[in-house]
């Protein structure tokens, strides 16, 4: 039972509401900035080579008609889902539609590995029943196991992206640890020339240190699932730094994974924090306005602080 | 001190709901492990995380494939292999290099893509698939790359 409960922590619905807005808007960005050639593939399906999932589901070959419909449906559903009105209906449209979008985008002989957490996030978000709608949902402190499960699934996929890439490094060498001492970063930089990277080519030992730090970090990444509070934050910052370094050296950003790190952030605290700050400020200005002070405002500020404390107690889950 | 009655509500899932959720999560983890241990990229999203996962030896030859074009303005240019450029990504060309060598007419779509996206710019009249090879010696780059033409295609109008 304890194991089962690990998969379903209680987390405030507000975190889901924030993630819906952020991730659905991110999908729109993704369609234009990252997996952005799906409609081109509809126009020229010459190099189309369907992936396993597309073959299993017998998905039609991309065409101008179906990729255009897919595009419009995704934009509309993402915008609707991002408002947190009808988020589940919108979410159940976005999940299969974006999966298909990415499947087409990656059906040309090259598969990127930065979309696992985002795609799974889109499939788990609509499983959570929303308590309140629209703006009110961002402050909804109702804690839910369904929300916790969705969050946990996203967290697992974020971590799996790192841990499993360490596994892939062992596997490609015939299950041996040769990757960190190899010339892989030199190879990558030569193939993606870029000033910072080319400068580093003169210092292969720096690249080897980076490879060791990278693979050790990837192997240890599952620990982050069990860390709490600021230690978990340090873990997240380590990997955000890891991506910043990759972007500087190789122009590989992994943003679709980076945005999913927000599943670890106590986003449900944003509204209570903002409210208590506003209340404290109005109480302070009321106090300075009249020497006698307004009891009512001060009491309200105290109430808000109490709210903030409640929210804090469920953070770190 | 916050008492239990003041705490926000907790919505639990039922026995069935919880069982299904745990099973789905465990199955997903199983698929991911299976993908990493034995599957290929074909199994996306449950394939291995194999980007940059290979061990490159210290004496490796590093190949870089590009497409060079002669334009109707008489210039020779490197074709921008991305969506905005010729509408084809470098990775696609690299993945299909063998096929292009066998059938250079596949390069026609590079010229078509460029012409369609940049109607006001010089057209490509001849395309060459070129492989630049950089030699590593003891893990360091040794000298400038050498180039080899793999395929040539006179563009059809």
| Tens-place pLDDT, residues A69-96 | 999 999 999 999 999 999 999 999 999 9
| Tens-place pLDDT, residues A228-239 | 999 999 999 999
The model's confidence at residue A291, banded by pLDDT at 50, 70 and 90, is low
Do residue B140 and residue A201 have CB atoms under 8 angstroms apart?
yes
Share of chain B above pLDDT 70, in %: 95
CB contacts under 8 A, A 76-135 vs B, are 99, 103, 106, 108-113, 115-116, 119-120, 127, 131
Do residue B53 and residue A179 have CB atoms under 8 angstroms apart?
yes
CB contacts under 8 A, A 254-313 vs B, are 306, 309-310, 313
- Partner A contacted by B16 (CB < 8 A): no
- Partner A contacted by B57 (CB < 8 A): yes
| Tens-place pLDDT, residues A174-213 | 999 999 999 999 999 988 888 888 899 989 899 999 999 9
The per-residue b/e assignment along A255-269, b for 16 or more CB within 10 angstroms, e otherwise, is bbbbbbbbbbbbbbb
Do residue A168 and residue B18 have CB atoms under 8 angstroms apart?
no
Do residue A109 and residue B95 have CB atoms under 8 angstroms apart?
yes
- Cα distances (angstroms) measured from residue A297 to each of A161, A276, A277, A303, A307: 49, 12, 13, 10, 15
Do residue A153 and residue B25 have CB atoms under 8 angstroms apart?
yes
CB contacts under 8 A, A 7-26 vs B, are 7-8, 10, 12
| Tens-place pLDDT, residues B136-152 | 888 888 888 899 999 99
Do residue B49 and residue A165 have CB atoms under 8 angstroms apart?
yes
Smallest Cα distance from B74 to chain A, Å = 27
Query: Which residues in chain B are contacts of A10 at CB distance < 8 A?
Result: 10, 12
Task: Identify which of B109, B134, B136 has the shortest CB distance to residue A46.
Answer: B109
**CA–CA separation, A41 and A63 (whole Å):** 7
- Partner B contacted by A210 (CB < 8 A): no
The residue extents of the domains of chain B are: 14-54, 61-154
Query: For residue A198, what pLDDT is reported?
Result: 86
Over its C-alpha atoms, chain A yields an Rg (Å, rounded) of 23
Task: Identify which of B8, B41, B57 has the shortest CB distance to residue A183.
Answer: B57
| Tens-place pLDDT, residues B54-107 | 999 988 999 889 999 999 999 999 999 887 788 888 888 888 889 999 999 989
| Tens-place pLDDT, residues A106-161 | 987 788 899 999 999 999 999 999 889 999 999 999 999 999 999 999 999 999 99
Task: Identify which of A37, A146, A165 has the shortest CB distance to residue B53.
Answer: A165
Answer yes or no: is pLDDT of A306 > 60.
no
Burial (Cβ within 10 Å: 0-12, 13-18, ≥19) of residue B120: exposed
């Amino acid at each position: 039972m304890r194991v089962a409960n690990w998969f379903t922590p209680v987390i405030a619905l507000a975190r889901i509401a924030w993630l819906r807005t952020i991730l659905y808007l991110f999908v729109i960005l993704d369609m234009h900035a990252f997996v952005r050639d799906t409609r081109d593939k509809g126009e020229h399906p010459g190099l189309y080579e369907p992936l396993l999932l597309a073959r299993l589901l017998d998905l039609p070959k991309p065409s101008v008609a179906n990729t255009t419909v897919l595009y419009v449906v995704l934009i509309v559903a993402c915008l609707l889902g991002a408002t947190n009105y009808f988020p589940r209906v919108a979410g159940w449209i976005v999940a299969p539609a974006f999966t298909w979008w990415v499947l087409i985008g990656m059906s040309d002989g090259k598969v990127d590995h930065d979309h696992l957490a985002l795609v799974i996030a889109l499939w788990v978000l609509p499983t959570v029943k929303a308590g309140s709608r629209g703006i009110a949902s961002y402050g909804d402190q109702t804690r839910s196991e369904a929300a916790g499960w969705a969050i946990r699934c996203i967290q697992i996929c974020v971590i799996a992206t790192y841990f499993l890439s360490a596994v892939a490094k062992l596997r490609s060498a015939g299950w041996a640890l040769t990757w960190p001492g190899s010339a892989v970063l030199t190879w990558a930089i030569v193939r993606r020339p870029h000033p910072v990277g080319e400068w580093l080519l003169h210092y292969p030992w720096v690249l080897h240190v980076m490879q060791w730090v990278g693979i050790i970090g990837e192997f240890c990444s599952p620990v982050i699932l069990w860390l709490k509070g600021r230690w978990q934050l340090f873990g997240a910052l380590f990997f955000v730094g890891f991506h910043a370094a990759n972007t500087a050296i190789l122009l590989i950003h992994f943003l679709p994974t980076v945005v999913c790190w927000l599943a670890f952030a106590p986003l449900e605290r944003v509204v209570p924090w903002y409210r208590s700050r506003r209340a404290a400020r109005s109480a302070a200005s009321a106090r300075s306005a009249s020497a006698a002070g307004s009891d009512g405002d001060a009491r309200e500020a105290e109430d808000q602080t109490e709210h903030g404390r409640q929210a804090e107690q469920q953070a770190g889950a | 001190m916050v008492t239990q009655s003041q705490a926000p509500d907790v919505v639990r899932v039922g026995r069935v709901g919880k069982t299904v959720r745990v099973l789905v999560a465990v199955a997903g983890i199983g698929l991911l492990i299976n993908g990493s241990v034995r599957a290929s990229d074909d199994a996306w999203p449950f394939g291995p995380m194999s980007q940059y996962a290979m061990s490159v030896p210290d004496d490796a030859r590093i190949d870089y494939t590009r497409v060079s074009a002669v334009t109707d303005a008489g210039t020779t240019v490197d074709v921008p292999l991305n969506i905005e450029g010729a509408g084809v990504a470098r990775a696609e060309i690299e993945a299909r290099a063998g096929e292009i060598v066998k059938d250079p007419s596949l390069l026609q779509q590079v010229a078509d893509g460029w012409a369609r996206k940049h109607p006001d710019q010089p057209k490509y009249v001849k395309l060459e698939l070129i492989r630049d090879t950089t030699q590593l010696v003891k893990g360091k780059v040794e000298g400038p790359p050498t180039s080899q033409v793999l395929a040539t295609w006179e563009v059809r109008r």
